[in-house]
A and B are shown apart, each in its own frame.
Chain A
Amino acid sequence: MATPLLQVEHLEKSYGDVHILHDINLTVATGSVTVLLGPSGSGKSTLIRCLNGLEDFQSGQLTFSGEPVTPSPKVWQKLRQKIGMVFQSYDLFPNLTVLDNILLGPLKVQHRAKAEAKEQAIKLLKEVGLADYQDSYPRQLSGGQKQRIAIVRALALNPDFMLFDEVTASLDPEMVRGVLEVLRNLAQQKMTMLVVTHEMNFAREIADQVVFLEEGHILEVTPGKQFFENPQTERAQIFLNSMDF
């Protein structure tokens, strides 16, 4: 078997006395889509943030592309160019135009040539159907448009791995489809992704594997189709039954 893109071993995370994540073990194969499911407060967001160094953890080992990750600010700063992350609240920089939002990383972090980075940015904008908005400011865009721009901003660094933390959770229903379409296209292009979502139909369609998390424990890791038809744990079955889809 090929080297997995990401391997998480025995990760433990607590805030003070509160234990958030217990003995997390997880393998993400290159080119696969992993969907992280679980009730609110189960630690999904905390886990995904640990994988981008936005949260530190007490113990455990991350291995990315076969290289053990030493959790230091310098290492994370380099690694974040390889691991893109998109948040629920988009968080575009309001003082910059769409194009400048996208180019900030490629120009200032990766020190790439402006012409080349801009060409790529415009190509990516076209792919998400927003090429006409490169000079707009975030406040002029709808939530769904902002979120697609935020995805482009992360992709502009040419990451190997993308983390999506409930990226449709604060969107109006009619905006959700456009954003999911972008994720679907990425999956078809064999981008390795880890997706936290409550869109169950989408999860069923896109997931190569489902990781089911509850109260900080991984209860099961199951191939996508199988999880939705025949989950291994009773708890996951109850969770699926409670979801309206």
Chain B
Amino acid sequence: MHSGISILFAGQNFSRLLGGLWISAKISIVSLVIGIALGILLGALRTVKNPILRVILRLYLEFFRIVPTVVLLFLFYYILPKNFNVNLNAQAVAMLVFALWVGAEMSDIVRGALISVPQHQCEAGIAIGLNGPQLFRYVLLPQAIGLMIPATINLMTRVIKTTSLLLLISVMDVINIGQQIIEANRQTHPDGAFWVYGLIFILYFLLCYPLSAWARHLERQQDNNA
């Protein structure tokens, strides 16, 4: 009688699961890189005193924050090809949706950090003749980055965890592959779900825990500096 854990190592199961994890990680990384860049730009624009721009960016933020990610995924996965004739594969749709979502959340983090840099700092920069972009580059952004790092890392872990929804638009992520393995081995390994999901739990934990520990560390460091 074999132990249930052997399901993880039968055939190519283990490397398939890791492959699925890599898909999740890849989608997370790409969407985070694009989304964070987008968010810094939009966050900076949200501090500009232009009412129309503000309303537009605010609507964008609220849309992506309020609509559940699953709904966003379905919207883009089904509506883009049908109504706009844009055919993207499931992974590209996932990256697009996540990047737009990260961009929205990030814009709020960036805006919050920028406006919490004291007004005096701006005035000191203006008084030595800095122009708007220079003020942003040399005074505001460097001070805001410290304030936004912990929240940004938390956003990263949320993105990684949310990749577990991607099986709903048939991305071959680690969960989707796990389910296939469980299904395929139902006869030989009736308790396969326990082992497969157990491993997936550990894999997600290994991805996210270092990030959240890092965020905690940085927050503590900031408290000490304050």
Interface residues of A (CB under 8 A from B): 52, 54, 77-78, 80-81, 84-85, 87, 89, 91-96, 104-105, 108-110, 139, 150, 153-154, 157
Residues on the B chain within 8 Å of A80, using CB:
126-129
Cβ-defined contact, B129 with A81, below 8 A:
yes
A-B pairs with beta carbons under 8 Å apart, 9 shown: A87-B120, A87-B124, A91-B118, A91-B120, A91-B121, A92-B124, A93-B139, A105-B130, A108-B138
The answer, yes or no, to whether B185 is at the interface (CB within 8 Å) is no
Binary contact readout B209-226 vs A (1 if CB under 8 angstroms, 0 otherwise): 000000000000000010
Given A91-B120, A91-B121, A108-B134; A154-B127 close (CB under 8 Å): yes
Whole-angstrom CA separation of A54 from B139 in the bound complex? 17
The answer, yes or no, to whether B142 is at the interface (CB within 8 Å) is yes
Residues on the A chain within 8 Å of B128, using CB:
80, 84, 104-105, 109, 153-154, 157
Residues on the B chain within 8 Å of A92, using CB:
124
Q: How far is the CB of A49 from chain B (nearest CB, A)?
A: 8
Chain A residue with the shortest CB-CB distance to B131:
A77
Interface residues of B (CB under 8 A from A): 118, 120-121, 123-131, 134, 138-139, 142-143, 146, 225
Chain B residue with the shortest CB-CB distance to A109:
B129
Residues on the B chain within 8 Å of A52, using CB:
127
Q: Which 9 A-B residue pairings sit nearest by Cβ, starting from the closest?
A: A91-B124, A105-B128, A109-B129, A95-B142, A85-B127, A80-B129, A91-B120, A81-B129, A89-B120
Q: How far is the CB of A77 from chain B (nearest CB, A)?
A: 6
Given A104-B138, A108-B138; A91-B129 close (CB under 8 Å): no
Residues on the B chain within 8 Å of A91, using CB:
118, 120-121, 123-124
Contact of A104 among B123, B130, B131, B146 (CB under 8 A): B130
Residues on the A chain within 8 Å of B131, using CB:
77
Residues on the A chain within 8 Å of B143, using CB:
93-95
Whole-angstrom CA separation of A93 from B142 in the bound complex? 10
Q: By CB atoms of chain A within 10 A, which of B126, B129, B225 has the most?
A: B129
Whole-angstrom CA separation of A109 from B130 in the bound complex? 6
Chain A residue with the shortest CB-CB distance to B123:
A54
Whole-angstrom CA separation of A157 from B118 in the bound complex? 23
Whole-angstrom CA separation of A118 from B126 in the bound complex? 21
Q: How far is the CB of B188 from chain A (nearest CB, A)?
A: 60
Whole-angstrom CA separation of A85 from B125 in the bound complex? 11
Residues on the B chain within 8 Å of A94, using CB:
143
Chain B residue with the shortest CB-CB distance to A86:
B127
Q: How far is the CB of A35 from chain B (nearest CB, A)?
A: 20
Q: How far is the CB of A36 from chain B (nearest CB, A)?
A: 17
Residues on the A chain within 8 Å of B124, using CB:
87, 91-93, 150
Residues on the B chain within 8 Å of A105, using CB:
128-130
Q: How far is the CB of A17 from chain B (nearest CB, A)?
A: 21
Given A87-B120, A89-B120, A95-B143; A54-B127 close (CB under 8 Å): yes
